[in-house]
Structure formats: C-alpha cells, structure tokens
Amino acid sequence: MFEEEQRPRRPEVFAPAALEGWSEEALRAYIVALQAEIARAEAALAARQAQRAAAEALFRKPSA
C-alpha cells in the first residue's frame, strides 16, 4: 500500500494571542499579519473550489 504523505496538521481551534500589554504599533502589525493569513487561506480555499469544480465538470455525465 502507498503511504500517505505526512503533513503537519493545523490545530482545529484558533488560539488568539493575549493582547494585554501590546503597544499600538505591535497591535497594528499583528492585525496586518492576520489579514495576510486570512487572504492566504481564502486563496487556498478558492483554489480548492476551482479544482473541485474542474473535476466535477470533467466527470459529469453528458446531457442527453
């Protein structure tokens, strides 16, 4: 049997950082980093949806 590629799994629950004591500059930088991560996750989701749609179109039964 083929062995599945072992990839690290992301935690299923997001653990927010403790923000008490952070400077305004640090908070703004944290927000920018989180927005970039959200954009990256949205792009990955869109790519997967496009891939699924392409596969479904390929394997769809032709209409009569």
Q: What is the pLDDT of residues 5-59, one digit of tens each?
A: 777 777 678 889 999 999 999 999 999 999 999 999 999 999 999 999 999 988 8
CA distance 49 to 45: 6
CA distance 33 to 43: 15
Residue 56 near residue 43 (C-beta atoms within 8 A):
no
The predicted pLDDT at position 30 comes to 97
Which tokens in the block code for residue 3?
Answer: 């062995």
pTM: 0.68
CA distance 33 to 47: 21
The predicted pLDDT at position 35 comes to 97
The predicted pLDDT at position 44 comes to 97
Residue 22: count other Cβ atoms within 10 Å of its Cβ: 13
